[in-house]
Structure 1
């Protein structure tokens, strides 16, 4: 198919989706095998998260450099090799077609090596010894480490993240939605606190909804655990330990709570954004919401198995009982291909 096009089926009839111009047609855009014109119109172009991603990538790649980008790295020094490569490479070079080779390994890159590079390097960034990210309390997502001042590595991560988006490669680590909102330049609200600390959100929600906070004996300070597990008290403003929270200044207290939780890694986030925007501009991604950006980077990780079974389409002569069958799954709520339902799995261990 031409760049930016996709073929789909409607009641057994093929039609064609132009993601670049966001329209559909019965006419085959390829120079041969054009189907006969039909009286009825093709299905209307439907805007879904997947179609938005396809249109975005089509526009992003419209003026892509025709050259090839050869990347040679070693598994033993992947993080260091990657740092040197991304630091020294111009943005235009990073947008070329990928050809990846791992040292001491034979093989041609037909897409698998590139996926593996992105997958394995993404895991390197969140290793504890890097001191860049820390797991959330539930272990499900990652947060930026507050006490890390290695801005070069955060910038490196931002550029790598944009590189992954540009080349449409999934990464393994998931980040809280506040991280994605920061990257998209979206305004943060009180409810976003639940993505950082669910317990804190519940506690501060009670304060927010209370009609009489005077009797709570609260000060302008919060108590929390460090990333190493030690408990510490943080003043939200100078002299906060001696300033009581009252009905009159409650909103100021909540605003300072939000500022502390949302912006205590501001320097690190700015370094990430600088690296990212050097390859993909903020303007180019602003029309996405945080969930869509997460989908683009991580694929779907929460799967409704019953929905999956109920909406499985099998080819002719194939059923769920056919040995070795690999059905094509279709989700009405997402309209995305099967390959985006799960993060990529490397063909071998990344270590």
Structure 2
């Protein structure tokens, strides 16, 4: 059969067209696939969360536009916690615990309960089952009377953390009809003792009062203190007062979102320039503080970059977190002599009154510490050490009262409390003086008033003695250091901006969540496609869940440069430039010498595809027990 050449030509063109079309489709598909690969790679390398237009979210955007999560209120401190939290983040009390229900034997949280650790429990609140049944059978009026009597008794048995959190709103600023500010104290939390009921506020005294023209701190009784004055004695603007009143009444997540938004507005952009701190790792404290003190006021809000001299790592944010951790751990170590540990059970720090024995420039160190704390609040860096409750009160300008001594020196407080509550104190042979233990175990007697060492303490004058002791412990012996620390802090963060928090909330902002929730960690993490269907992913999280609290913190520091969880949980992890950047896992090929690699700037771990869970566990154990600092990559 004869076929025309034109037909062959048409058939050839058709086949050629199909082939060309197929090649073009394949080329486009390969290009799209490669683009998706690059996007996935970028997602892991810098997994920033953003809006629909692609603009990355920052910490200040975290609560904005996000549906409100269900919360539960702690019966001890009234703090509203996320439903994912099994314990109150402020006081550590278990979710579902109720003082009233416990006393009646009906609290669901105590079903099968065993006495827990002092860290997060109220000892002695679980009564015998038979006694619980008997109490429930009481008449209603008798039962309520029983609860009222015993609730007050059980409140006195709270541990230190719970007691502090319960009293966090004890003092409240009020404004009278003439616009003057004054302090009120919650009546149900006040002591019946007149001595214990008085409060004092630290204020800067104008220079004209003292010879030499230097300003200094003094204590003003709350009965005569203007609650609308800030640390330096200036009046808070009326418009600011209205804002502070509204924000202070908000739930903590909204309050914190407001604060982050305000601090974000203070920060400069990269276009305005940047600050660079270059230090030797072996001399971090001295070299860092020299440069922190040298910052000009107009430069304090610029982005910060850190360089460890002699090391190849480039700072993309992870080094800044590592630098901050190293610096603060050394700074707040009581062996240094600038700060001292107080109340061992709580693990907090306060100013060492003998810091002048360490260096003649100790006051400059305290000013630098204040600036460092201010930068931490700006950037969201977290302290591994906790400020003592009285120090938090000084920062907020909240009254210090007699019972606050227990957070500074529990033994001293017990003795003073006995003195306050008992008669015939003359038999103790006390005088209006205190004994200080200085370096070299030398003791120095300090008069609480002129010629105090020769004035005996009696029942008639013990109230004055207790008030002077409170003033001495909380202010006089460290007033110069405290003044410089607060001055440095408020050069960076205006005090009014912090006043929206109570002291327990401020500790949460400064130190983050004390415990690491692995479920929250995993829920707010991402991983590369290679890990999704690999057993290594499950092995990793199983190993992490089985770690001790200390090992979890070390692993978190290895991955992010910080051992603490942000206030808003793992969803608030940020990258080097303050944008939200979840924790991520990137699979890498396994070799016999393969170890996990961390990229702290992106909160990322490169995880080899190990052959067994035991092998992964052994390697992670080696990693977290290796010196963490200097081990990460940027």
Structure 1 and Structure 2 fold alike (TM over 0.5): yes
SS in 1 for 2:492: coil
Q: 1:184 aligns with which of 396, 410, 433?
A: 396
Q: CA deviation at 1:250?
A: 1.6
RMSD: 3.7
Identify if the C-alpha distance between structure 1 residues 47 and 226 changes in structure 2 by more than 3 Å, giving closer, same or farther: same
Q: Secondary structure at the match of 1:219?
A: coil
2:283 aligned residue (68, 77, 81): 77
Looking at structure 1, the residues matched to 311 and 518 of structure 2 have their Cα atoms a distance apart, in angstroms, of: 39
Q: Which residue among 56, 70, 75 is the counterpart of 2:259?
A: 56
Corresponding residue number in structure 2 for 1:98:
304
> Is 1:200 aligned to residue 252 of structure 2?
no
Q: Residue 138 of structure 1: which of 341, 344, 359 is its match?
A: 344
Q: Deviations over 1:231-250 (max 9, x none)?
A: 55433222223322222212
Q: Is the 8 A contact 1:158 1:275 kept in 2?
A: yes
Check conservation: 1:300, 1:340, Cα contact below 8 A: no
Shift of 1:201: 0.3
Match among 62, 70, 74 for residue 6 of structure 1: 62
1:93-172 map, 5 Å: 93-127=299-333, 130-136=336-342, 138=344, 140-149=347-356, 150-172=362-384
Task: Quote the offset at 1:199 in angstroms.
Answer: 0.3
Aligned partners of 2:275, 2:627: CA distance in 1, in Å?
20
After superposition, the Cα gap between the structure-2 partners of 1:88 and 1:226, relative to the gap in structure 1 and judged at 3 Å, is closer
Q: Which moved more, 1:281-290 or 1:222-231?
A: 222-231
Q: How does 1:1-351 map to 2 (within 5 A)?
A: 1=50, 2-3=57-58, 4-6=60-62, 15=67, 47-67=250-270, 68-71=273-276, 72-127=278-333, 130-136=336-342, 138=344, 140-149=347-356, 150-223=362-435, 225-226=437-438, 229-263=441-475, 264-301=477-514, 303=515, 322-325=538-541, 336-338=568-570, 348-349=628-629
For residues 230 and 178 of structure 1, what CA distance do their matches in structure 2 show? 27
Distance in 1 of aligned mates of 2:400 and 2:486:
16
Cα offset, 1:218, TM superposition:
3.0
SS of match in other structure, 2:67 = strand
Runs of 5+ unmatched residues, structure 2: 1-49, 51-56, 70-248, 357-361, 525-531, 546-565, 574-602, 604-623
Mean CA deviation greater in 233-242 or 220-229:
220-229
Contact 1:66–1:96 (8 Å) recurs in 2:
yes
Q: Deviation per CA, 1:96-155, whole angstroms, max 9, x where unpaired?
A: 233333223333434311211111111232356743122336382322121223211111
After alignment, is 133-142 or 237-246 more displaced? 133-142
Runs of 4+ in 1 over 6 A off after TM superposition: 309-313, 344-347
SS at match of 1:255: helix
CA 1:340–1:348: 2 relative to 1, 3 Å: same
Shift, 1:7, TM fit: 6.1
Deviation of residue 212 (structure 1)?
4.5
Cα shift readout 1:157-208 (whole Å, capped 9, x = no counterpart): 1111111111110122322111111122221000110111100001101111
Structure 1 residue 47 displacement after superposition:
4.3
User: Residues 58 and 182 of structure 1: is their aligned pair in 2 closer, same or farther, counting only changes over 3 Å?
Assistant: same
Q: Is the 8 A contact 2:305 2:320 kept in 1?
A: yes
Relative to structure 1, is the Cα distance of residues 340 and 216 closer, same or farther in structure 2, using a 3 angstrom cutoff?
farther
In the alignment, which residue of structure 2 is the partner of 1:35? none
- Residues 122 and 93 of structure 1: is their aligned pair in 2 closer, same or farther, counting only changes over 3 Å? same
Give the alignment's TM-score, normalised by structure 1: 0.73
SS at match of 1:62: helix
- Kindly state the Cα deviation for residue 54 of structure 1 after the two structures are TM-superposed: 2.8
Q: Distance in 1 between matches of 2:342 and 2:430?
A: 26
* Structure 1 SS opposite 2:466: helix
Tell me how far apart the structure 2 counterparts of residues 350 and 293 of structure 1 sit (CA, whole Å): 30
CA contact (8 A) 2:512 2:567 kept: no
Q: Distance in 1 between matches of 2:257 and 2:435?
A: 45
**Equivalent pair of 2:354/2:438 in contact (CA under 8 Å):** no
SS class of match (1:83) = helix
- Tell me, which stretches of 5 or more residues in structure 1 are unaligned? 18-45, 328-333
> Match of 1:265, SS?
helix
Counterpart-to-counterpart distance in 1, 2:455 and 2:324: 49
Within 1, Cα distance between the matches of 2:252 and 2:319? 27
Q: 1:323 to 1:8 in 2, by over 3 A?
A: farther
Q: Report how many aligned residue pairs link the two structures.
A: 304
Residue matched to 1:27 = none
* Contact 1:64/1:95, CA 8 A, preserved across alignment: yes
